[in-house]
Amino acid sequence: MKNRSFVVAAVCISAAAFLFMTVEAFARVGGSRSSGSRGSRTMSTPTAPSSPSTPSSTSTSPSTSTSATPTPGVTPSQVPPPQTGGFMRGMMGGLAGGFLGSMLFGGLGGMGGGGGLGGILPLLLLVAIGYLGYRIYARRRQEQATWPSQVEGSAPGQYAAPAAVADSAGEDRNKGLEYIRRMDPAFNDKAFGETASDAFFRLQGGWTRRDLSPVSGLLTDEMRATLQADADALKAKGQINRLENISVRNVEITEAWQESGQDYVTVLFQANLLDYTTDEAGKVLSGSDTVPVKFEEFWTFTRPVGPGGWRLSAIQQPG
């Protein structure tokens, strides 16, 4: 009976760990969290364009997104948002729930008793499942609030944002780029995309080395202090966040504006990479050194108005 109890405990703990891994993001530069300053837009969240933009964007691969004019009578509330999760998450959640019920109500021969290992495991697993439920609920509520409506007559799975919203964002970006060109006629969207991509790769390298001093010129003072503090925290724990096989799928300007004598340009990066954390000896602690992950991030660059070098001032997560 004792052996059986330990087997069940191991399975439950593994299930809970699996559930946490399916919702937690990996590290990357900035720790997969928003940080830095975007001037007066710091508190606003950038959004990915819903349709191919005007020549103010650059891309490393052909765009496959489509847009159309919404048909009268079709509202976002009529279109359910995409469902998150998958078969494995649902299966593991069911197993964990079943084990929890069994332990709480005595279905596994004494595991639900009042003391010892059987007494604490149900509580630990309950906390894990409750946390997972909260994360999934919050994510779905967010998607329901932001997911664009499906256009009548379009193929299943094709969505388009309201034309007025997309046009407004595009006009704002294009006006911002026009203002930047007035003070810097040499400014070029494609060249800026290459500049941003170069900074992206160099900063990822500095993050993996846990030393951002060689690339400090690419960062504002605030971002340099924030990122170096995060890198120092990894070093103090004897951990290395390794970023390998980076493949940038798309680089696109989503915002551009001027304020307080500064130029600002926000770029959407869509990329694949191996993102995992090891100890000093190279043992993988989290993430995977064989399975790449996809991610999207908005990087905002700034400089004094006019010709000059750009520095990263903020990293923001979508949504």
Q: What is the pLDDT along the chain (319 residues), one digit of tens a residue?
A: 555 554 445 444 444 444 333 333 345 665 556 778 898 998 887 877 654 444 444 444 333 333 334 444 444 444 444 444 443 444 444 444 554 455 545 544 444 444 555 566 666 666 667 766 666 656 555 544 443 444 444 444 444 444 555 567 788 999 999 999 999 999 999 999 999 999 999 999 999 999 999 999 999 999 999 999 999 999 999 999 999 999 999 999 999 999 999 999 999 999 999 999 999 999 999 999 999 999 899 999 999 999 999 999 999 988 6
* Max Cα distance, the chain (Å): 79
Place of tokens 């900035």: 30
Predicted structure pTM score: 0.58
Report the distance separating Cα 128 and Cα 136, nearest Å. 12
Per-residue pLDDT, 121? 66
Per-residue pLDDT, 101? 52
Report the distance separating Cα 275 and Cα 18, nearest Å. 17
CATH dotted code for 33-73+161-316? 3.10.450.240
Distance between alpha carbon 237 and the CA centroid of its chain, in Å? 24
Place of tokens 């966040």: 241
The H helix count followed by the E strand count for the chain is 6, 6
Per-residue pLDDT, 204? 93
Report the distance separating Cα 207 and Cα 201, nearest Å. 10
Place of tokens 């919702």: 23
Main-chain dihedrals φ then ψ at residue 283, nearest 5 degrees: -75, 130
Three-class SS state of 149: coil
CB 95 within 8 A of CB 129: no
Report the distance separating Cα 238 and Cα 283, nearest Å. 11
Per-residue pLDDT, 149? 41
CA-CA distances (angstroms) from residue 79 to 51, 73, 83, 122?
19, 12, 12, 39
Query: Structural domain boundaries of the chain?
Result: 2-18+80-146, 33-73+161-316
Per-residue pLDDT, 116? 53
Report the distance separating Cα 11 and Cα 95, nearest Å. 9
**Smallest Cα–Cα separation from 207: which of 248, 245, 235, 241?**
241
